[in-house]
Amino acid sequence: MSSSIKQSVTNILASADITINGSRPWDIQIHNDKLYRRVLLKGSLGVGEAYMDGWWDAEKLDDFYFHILNSRLDEKFDGYFTRVWSLISNRLINRQSRRRSYAVGEKHYDLGNDLFAAMLDKRLTYTCGYWPDARNLDEAQEAKMDLACRKLNLQPGQRILDIGCGWGSFMKYAAEKYGVEAVGLTISKEQIALGQTLCAGLPIEFRLEDYRAVRGEFDHVISIGMFEQVGYKNCRTFMKVARRSLKTNGLFLLHTIGWPLSGKTNEPWLDKYIFPNFHLPSLAQISRAAEKIFIVEDIHNFGADYDKTLLTWYQNFNQSWPNLKAHYDDRFYRLWKHYLLLCAALFRSRHTQLWQIVFSPQGVPGGYTSVR
């Protein structure tokens, strides 16, 4: 290994107050000197893969990444060739086509219901909680779901469409607390299998279906944590589907993670190992997709709450690992830990945002009253 490469990486990390083999919780402990070249050649993909391989550690992985992101070092460890390939492939093909849309279900959501049951709240809600008045994860997730119900002004007997329904947590909550009927779309067989059991006896229907195939008209439409898999080439198609599914006087609530800048590439490690073909939209991309289809009534950013949600998920996962490791190996443990704590740092540094956006087809008569 060239000493100049090692010195270059050392200097860059020092600018973020990170010391190689230092004693602070966010300092990096390097176990393999091949890491330096791997990072310079492959950027964040190389960093993540090297962590999975045990080449480095940090006592507080989320704090390590927070220092990296807060100092904008991610822009220096760009991984030129990885970024170029991502840009080219996104331009040449539709990575979120109907044929490809089930890939994330098979690779991520079908990993095993035991994993998600151990990590998530009692309702299996795999999206950001709402923490202003919550004392624990269960309360934070119910507060988020109730917030969404009130933003839609749900009324008994209404029929809603949930695009990307997961295990049905929102539909179950809305049916129990607000007396609605619901149809949920997911691309995960495992989610449907468990979701149907959890929602038994309620007026809830699960469909293993790509959103582009849905038919029918609903009083309201909601999508919580699914838009990240739509892709920039399909954002307008998604909006058209939501509109054709919605009654003229209905509301559409979109809950999505997003970047502050418009882009077409993905974070390469998360794309390869966690969410195949994902794309985080910007507000500009969302707004352009909705032009002449919807009126934007309300935008609510509570992305900072995702940091606490992810840390709680990690604590649950880590505590449950003795029971989970019979089905998952040690490399998976490092992969999953890296995923949860990297994402916590992304939200803590405000690199990524979480928006709830309320749309109406023609504008709410007299104006929409924001709900918080």
pLDDT at 99 over 90: no
Q: Name the residue range of residue 342's domain.
A: 101-360
User: Same domain, yes or no, for 314 and 250?
Assistant: yes
User: Same domain, yes or no, for 225 and 345?
Assistant: yes
Question: Any catalytic annotation for residue 199?
Answer: no
Instruction: List, in order, residues 6 or more apart from 244 with CB less than 8 Å away.
Output: 217
Question: 372: how many CB neighbours lie within 10 A of its CB?
Answer: 10
In a domain, 367, yes or no: no
pLDDT at 65 over 90: yes
**For residues 119 and 316, is the Cβ–Cβ distance under 8 A?**
yes
pLDDT at 107 over 70: no
pLDDT in tens, 309-338: 999 999 999 999 999 999 999 999 999 999
In a domain, 227, yes or no: yes
User: Same domain, yes or no, for 70 and 129?
Assistant: no
In a domain, 365, yes or no: no
User: Same domain, yes or no, for 201 and 53?
Assistant: no
Domain count, the chain: 2
Picking from 84-93, 195-204, 239-248, which range would have the lowest pLDDT averaged per residue?
84-93
User: Same domain, yes or no, for 62 and 116?
Assistant: no
Residue 90 pLDDT grade (very low, low, confident, very high; cuts 50, 70, 90)? very low
User: Same domain, yes or no, for 277 and 325?
Assistant: yes
Q: Which helix (H) or strand (E) holds 57?
A: strand 56-58
Residue-level pLDDT at 14: 93
In a domain, 291, yes or no: yes
In a domain, 203, yes or no: yes
pLDDT at 33 over 60: yes
**For residues 130 and 144, is the Cβ–Cβ distance under 8 A?**
yes
Q: Pick the catalytic residue from 149, 199, 235, 343.
A: 343
In a domain, 84, yes or no: no
In a domain, 194, yes or no: yes
User: Same domain, yes or no, for 27 and 129?
Assistant: no
